[in-house]
Structure formats: C-alpha cells, structure tokens
C-alpha cells in the first residue's frame, strides 16, 4: 500500500466513523483541536496528518486506532 492509498483508506474510515457516531466535520475537528477544513482534507486524503491528530480523532470517535489502519500490507517497493 502506498502513501496515497493509506491516506484514502484512513480518510474513508474516519468519515464513516464520524457519520456513525453522528458528528459533523466541524464538531469532530473542534474536539480534536484542528480546523474544520483540515478535517475535510483528512477525509479526502489531501492532508498527511500527524500521529497526534490521528490519535485525537480516534479517541473522540471512540474507535481503536488499529481498526482505522486496517491491513497495511507490505511496504511499497518504491
């Protein structure tokens, strides 16, 4: 899995979990201490976010971070 695919996969999972728990992008972003536009960019795989943001989002969604990463597979040879 390359970097872009990983960001897309995690972004889709963040979006699905956010919707599942009934939060808007704005609300989740505020809880995590980021700008709401950044949340949109994360969900669209346009922003390579830090582990700090990743853990805050997972915490506020009440989801185990490993579930958001899924199956990483082998590193991209490139």
Q: What is the pLDDT of residues 35-69, one digit of tens each?
A: 999 999 999 999 999 999 999 999 999 999 988 88
pLDDT band per the 50, 70, 90 thresholds, residue 1:
confident
What was the pLDDT predicted at 76?
62
pLDDT band per the 50, 70, 90 thresholds, residue 8:
very high
Domains and CATH numbers, the chain: 3-69 (1.10.260.40)
Instruction: Give the DSSP letter of residue 52.
Output: H
**Surface-to-core class of residue 30, CB atoms within 10 Å of its CB (0-12 exposed, 13-18 middle, 19+ buried):** middle
What was the pLDDT predicted at 73?
62
């Amino acid at each position: 899995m390359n970097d872009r695919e990983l960001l897309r996969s995690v972004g889709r999972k963040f979006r699905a979990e956010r919707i599942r728990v009934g939060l808007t992008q704005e609300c989740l972003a505020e809880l995590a201490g980021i700008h709401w536009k950044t949340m949109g960019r994360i969900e669209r795989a346009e922003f390579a976010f830090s582990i700090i943001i990743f853990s805050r989002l997972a915490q506020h969604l009440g989801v185990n971070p490993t579930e958001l990463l899924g199956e990483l597979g082998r590193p991209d040879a490139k």
